[in-house]
Amino acid sequence: MKFSIPQKKAKFLSLGSNQGNRRENLIFALDEINKVALIKRQSSVYETPALLPTGAPSDWNRPFLNLAVEISTDRSAEDFLQIIQTIEKKRDRVKNKRWAPRPLDIDILLWDNVEINSSHLKIPHPEMNRRSFVLDPLKDLSAQFITAARRLRTHCPQLMGIVNVTPDSFSDGGEFFSYENFSRCLDLLVENCVDIIDIGAESTCPGATPLTSEQEWIRLKPFLEKLAPLKNDRKLFPLISLDTYHPETAKKAIPYGVNIINDVSGLNDPEMISVLKDSNLDYVLSHSLDIPANPENHIEGDPIDYLKIWLESKWDVLQRNNINADRIIFDPGIGFGKSSLQSQEIIKNMSKFRELPFRILVGHSRKSFFSTFTPAPPQERDIETIGTSMALLDQGVDILRVHDVKNHRKAIRGWLHARS
């Protein structure tokens, strides 16, 4: 596949905290940085095990919260280093043994094309390509870091929590179809450190009734109106993904703070290109054959080869329209135009996509292919989903779209600590 990605000329910082109120420490740092530079893009927050030397005290084993930012400033790297050190001191950072817990740790990773190798500053950061807690946030900002992040043993995924404001979803239809339930769901997702909230108003399961864009927007608008102020009022709020294949709906949703368009149709409507060109939204490019999904219709031949060819053709369209790889998330579309065995084959072979310079999302949660090896109804397939998620982590998947965020977060913590 032909997917060459140019190196991005940019200034990137890494921020971390594993002492005190970690989120408040990061928010403080972002506010201080924003006083002296423009924060152009900001990653999600990743929780990762502390990097520890052999024989470290047990009380040093405190998980970090990490994120990365791309900034714009006319200051030199040396001048900005002094600013960073001042910000760290304001948050009670004291000189201590290397790897000791710290309330705030800010590193300069890249500074455009500048190279520095002095006793107090090295750019590019010499350890960045060996640290998942640096590369995983960076891949949210630039496609040039994606394949390097996936090759590390402790590559950490983002969790996309599913919120269906629809009465007919296959596993949670009607569950969040009131604002009271919706609000409770949001609180639980934020409490369990979800990275992305995926909100949709149209079911695409077999037998569902398709909606017009107008019908979809009537359902969505009240929930987006409630969601937008929450996002504006809370720092480090999760990203908002809109699950729609209607370009008109996507356009209307942009002023409400949507970050991602999750298009199950995979650019079937060419007007979606216009939405992307006129915005800075990220885009989930998902493969499907039918909407709603038709279990009788599936792709012919090897599903991996088919998806690679399909993806290359879609990438050609995106490139011609100057949509860069930083904004693209590939979803193979489990259950959409695939038989149960094909869906399982794709899940087993996601590692064959790990060299792609796009983030990879898999939405396998509670899907119908589980029925081939469990009698459990959709609402009771979360354990099977988590087991499958653990296999996907080993294959370098970047985003897991799931219903049960709480137990996924617990399982991923255990997985990361066992491998670090």
Q: Characterize the bridge pairing of strands 328-331 and 282-286.
A: parallel
- Clarify whether 92 is annotated catalytic: no
DSSP reduced 3-state for 327: helix
Sign for the pseudo-dihedral over CA of 306, 275, 34, 122: positive
- C-alpha–C-alpha distance, residues 143 and 328, integer Å: 9
Q: Count the residues in the chain.
A: 420
Catalytic residue, candidates 22, 41, 62, 93: 93
Catalytic residue, candidates 22, 102, 131, 381: 102
- C-alpha–C-alpha distance, residues 3 and 359, integer Å: 13
Q: Characterize the bridge pairing of strands 239-243 and 260-263.
A: parallel
- C-alpha–C-alpha distance, residues 194 and 406, integer Å: 8
- C-alpha–C-alpha distance, residues 194 and 404, integer Å: 10
DSSP 6-43: PPP--EEEEEEE-SSSHHHHHHHHHHHHHHHSEEEEEP
Beta bridge partners of 161: 197, 402
- Clarify whether 102 is annotated catalytic: yes
Distance of CA 312 to the CA centre of its chain: 22
Closest CA to 131 of 228, 16, 272: 16
Which helix (DSSP H) or strand (DSSP E) does residue 330 occupy? strand 328-331
Give yes or no for a contact between 257 and 196, defined as CB atoms under 8 angstroms apart: no
Tell me whether residue 285 is exposed, middle or buried, using C-beta atoms within 10 angstroms of its C-beta: 0 to 12, 13 to 18, 19 or more.
buried
- Clarify whether 269 is annotated catalytic: no
Sign for the pseudo-dihedral over CA of 346, 351, 357, 361: positive
For 23, what's the count of Cα atoms within 13 Å in the CB-facing half-sphere?
10
Give yes or no for a contact between 50 and 62, defined as CB atoms under 8 angstroms apart: yes
The beta-strand segments (E) located in 38-193 are 38-42, 46-48, 64-72, 105-111, 116-117, 122-123, 158-164
Catalytic residue, candidates 22, 91, 105, 366: 105
- Clarify whether 107 is annotated catalytic: yes
Catalytic residue, candidates 41, 91, 92, 107: 107
User: Active-site residue numbers?
Assistant: 93, 102, 105, 107
